[in-house]
Amino acid sequence: MPTGVGVAVVGAVSLVGEALIEVLEERAFPLGELHLLDAGEGVGHTVPYKGRNLRVSAADRFDFARVQLVFLVGASALVSECHVAASAAGCRIVDLSGSISVERQPCLVPEVNGALLDSSPDRLAVASPLPASVALALALAPVRHQLGLVGVTVTACLPVSSRGAAGVKELARQTSELLNARPLEPRVFGRQMAFNLLAQAEEVDPHGHGAQERRLVDELRQLLQNPELAVAVTFIQAPVFFGESLVVSLRCSLDVDVQALSAALEAAPGVEVVGGDDYPTAVGDAVGQDVIYVGRVRCGIGDPRQVNLWIVSDNVRKGAALNAVQSGELLIKDYL
């Protein structure tokens, strides 16, 4: 019997990669060897882990037969190549890249559809969905029957950390330039991000949709087990460093009792409800936390079949790193 699970993290030199290593350290993950992998400038970096500094190696030269579990962070050609190599080596894979369709590689939010792995115990690869999909699934899966959920409209306000460390640096630099009346030099976002909102978080296709918007629709329908669910989604980019805010409006086929809905949300795993006169915010509540926060739970104005919610979540930790590690724990539970 092995003494622990050998793990590789591809894309280790990134906000999510580093958060993932932190989460592995914090949780009682039965870790054997840990290999940190990346490409380009990331190779040679060191990342702290349990009091040591682990060196990041070149992913393209790594022998995936040395590990049993692989986390794939970020969307890149490197990640796609490593997916192929890790699969060929028989590794179990948690893929955060979103580069494979949910039909071929189902997405997993352990609190919501962890039973997926009980019904397919031989499954070797799962996707960890977008942070916004994680948050929406955590809030909506436990209440969808109670609501007779028919449609979801969501405005996902992404923080600059959704673009990694470069996004964080850019907002800080632009803010300082503006406050000091220096000329603004947009780089990462291509225009003024400080004190402004951007209509989209990425390039869009000829139909006007971003890849993350399409991905969210697919993931949400799968996680809520409703391929017919009507989903309208807009990702916008907000001048916030960390933490995602979602403005959610639901169409329901049943008249909704707000008290009962709030009670069901409070009982849902991974969800905290903030009610009364208060509401949660990304910065004040969600960042650094292992749960999502739901507030402003209310019906429509004169419409009991409309429900509106506000959800905040730590996009790096809860939405990505923690969900991936929780998924990894399920993938290897029969292995030990």
* Residue 226 binds its own copies, judged by CB under 8 A: no
Q: Among 88, 165, 166, 258, which residue sits at the site for its own copies (rule: CB under 8 A)?
A: 258
Task: In whole angstroms, give the CA distance from residue 198 to residue 170.
Answer: 14
> Residue 53 class from Cβ within 10 Å (0-12 exposed, 13-18 middle, 19+ buried)?
exposed
Q: Which residues pair with 152 in a beta bridge?
A: 231, 250
Does the protein bind its own copies through residue 61 (CB under 8 A)? no
Quick one: 108 or 217, whose CB is closer to its own copies? 217
214 part of the interface to its own copies, by CB under 8 A: yes
Pick the binder of its own copies from 22, 49, 100, 241 (CB under 8 A).
241
Helix spans in 58-102 (H):
77-88
Beta pairing class for 69-72 and 5-10: parallel
Concatenated DSSP letters of 43-58: TT-EEEETTEEEEEEE
Instruction: Number of residues interacting with its own copies: please give it, by CB under 8 A.
Output: 56
Query: Taking a C-beta distance cutoff of 8 angstroms, is the pair 11, 38 a contact?
Result: yes
Site string for its own copies, 167-206 (x = CB under 8 A): ----xx--xx--x-----------xx--xxxxxx--xx--
255 interacts with its own copies by CB under 8 A: no
Q: Which two tokens stand for residue 277?
A: 């006169």
281 interacts with its own copies by CB under 8 A:
yes
Rounded to whole angstroms, the Cα distance separating 275 from 283 reads 17
Residue 57 binding its own copies, by CB under 8 A:
no
Binding site residues, its own copies, CB under 8 A: 153, 155, 157, 171-172, 175-176, 179, 191-192, 195-200, 203-204, 207-209, 213-214, 217, 230-234, 236, 238-241, 245, 247, 249, 258, 277, 279-284, 295-301, 303, 306, 308, 310
